[in-house]
Amino acid sequence: MIIHETQETIRSIKSERDICILAHSYQAQEIIEIADFTGDSFQLSVAASKVSQKTVIMCGVRFMAETVKILAPDKTVLLVNPSAGCPMAEQMDKELIGTVKKQYPDYTVVAYINTTADLKTVCDVCVTSSSAVKIVDKITNNNILFLPDCNLGAYVASQLPNKNIKLLHGGCPIHAVVTTANVKKAKELHPGAKLLVHPECVPEVVSLADFVGSTSAIMDYAVNSEDRDFIIGTEMSIAEHLQYRCPDKRFYCLSQKLLCPNMKITTLIDVLNCVNGRGGEEIALDESTIADARVCIDKMIELGAL
């Protein structure tokens, strides 16, 4: 009941104050329920570019709020919990990539969206897990420098053998710890269950999957499948959300380690404080960062929509 009342209060304040709530699919169920829009990173970016409200609050991690600010610079954009960062997005900076680019001058620099706004200013095209294969395929240059996630990059390379993809050694510390031993154990415990895996997992795990896709693609696959049992190889919230949506099916986590503390740090009370003007951090980016970072994000939206 307390949760329900808090949700109702948030709903009424957000409509009074003209606030749009965006929530990534890894957020807790009680937050997903009050969001105006939920989805994977690509879907959230497209939603951000079309928001009509004057304030947008992001239930997710910092690079997601930065992406909203870049796409909607005239809006007030707040990150609900300022401590929510993405360790992968902090792995590489503009200076490092500037040095690497000098070694690969004729390569197109493709940045996973899990990067800082500052780093995006020196990249050519952005991708997300749901759009990476499609977008890299559409880039006319066959020489690609892919950063920071070497696992997503390896998956793209496996799907596009005609491309010459140079990988750097970054990645998601949550997905990357899942092993083939976890797969073996989960399959023994749940024989016949379909294995659905995020491409941030290591290639050995991805190669054993029945389906590979973004958080939203995994959810769509499971909802629409005729199968009933699924092992979910991404952050454990996805198994929980799917269990709510499909009570007649069964969803099992591939590993107990698939828990992203940064995605879990945002609470419903944080959302309440944020819509009340008593919490959250307003995202401030200078005009030149917004203009330069926007080039690769616009390219992503343009190529992703084709």
Q: Which residues bind ligand SF4 (CB under 6 A)?
A: 61, 86-88, 114, 172-174, 235, 260, 262-263
Nearer to ligand SF4, 148 or 304 (CB): 148
Rule CB under 6 A: say whether 81 interacts with ligand 13P.
Answer: no
- Pick from ligand SF4, ligand 13P, none: which does 182 bind, CB < 5 to 8 A by kind? none
Restricting to residues 233-272, which ones interact with ligand 13P according to CB under 6 A? Answer: none
Q: How far apart are CA 269 and CA 70, in angstroms?
A: 27
Q: How far apart are CA 246 and CA 240, in angstroms?
A: 10
- Pick from ligand 13P, ligand SF4, none: which does 87 bind, CB < 5 to 8 A by kind? ligand SF4
Rule CB under 6 A: say whether 128 interacts with ligand 13P.
Answer: yes
Q: How far apart are CA 63 and CA 79, in angstroms?
A: 10
Nearest-approach distance from CB 279 to ligand 13P, in angstroms: 22
- Pick from ligand SF4, ligand 13P, none: which does 25 bind, CB < 5 to 8 A by kind? ligand 13P
Spell out the residues 6+ positions from residue 141 whose beta carbon is closer than 8 angstroms to its own: 106, 107, 108
- Pick from ligand 13P, ligand SF4, none: which does 215 bind, CB < 5 to 8 A by kind? ligand 13P
Q: Kind of pairing, strands 211-212 and 229-233?
A: unpaired
- 25, 67, 116, 289: which one binds ligand 13P (CB under 6 A): 25
Nearer to ligand 13P, 81 or 130 (CB): 130
Rule CB under 6 A: say whether 115 interacts with ligand 13P.
Answer: no
- Pick from ligand SF4, ligand 13P, none: which does 128 bind, CB < 5 to 8 A by kind? ligand 13P
- 55, 81, 91, 114: which one binds ligand 13P (CB under 6 A): 114
Rule CB under 6 A: say whether 41 interacts with ligand 13P.
Answer: yes
Nearer to ligand 13P, 262 or 272 (CB): 262
- 86, 126, 219, 231: which one binds ligand 13P (CB under 6 A): 86
Nearest-approach distance from CB 226 to ligand SF4, in angstroms: 29
The count of residues interacting with ligand 13P (CB under 6 A) is 12
Rule CB under 6 A: say whether 151 interacts with ligand 13P.
Answer: no
Around Cβ 230, how many Cβ atoms within 10 Å? Answer: 27
Nearer to ligand SF4, 13 or 265 (CB): 265
In three state form, how does the secondary structure of the chain look? CHHHHHHHHHHHHHHHCCEEEEEECCCCHHHHCCCCEEECHHHHHHHHHHCCCCEEEEECCHHHHHHHHHHCCCCEEEECCCCCCCHHHHCCCHHHHHHHHHHCCCCEEEEECCCCHHHHCCCCEEECCCCHHHHHHHCCCCEEEEECEHHHHHHHHHHCCCCEEEECCECCCCHHHCCHHHHHHHHHHCCCCEEEECCCCCHHHHCCCCEECCHHHHHHHHHHCCCCEEEEECCCHHHHHHHHHCCCCEEEECCCCCCCHHHHCCCHHHHHHHHCCCCCEECCCCHHHHHHHHHHHHHHHHHHHC
Around Cβ 45, how many Cβ atoms within 10 Å? Answer: 24
Nearer to ligand SF4, 14 or 198 (CB): 198
Rule CB under 6 A: say whether 129 interacts with ligand 13P.
Answer: yes
Rule CB under 6 A: say whether 116 interacts with ligand 13P.
Answer: no
Interacting residues toward ligand 13P by CB under 6 A: 25, 40-41, 86, 114, 128-130, 172, 200, 214-215
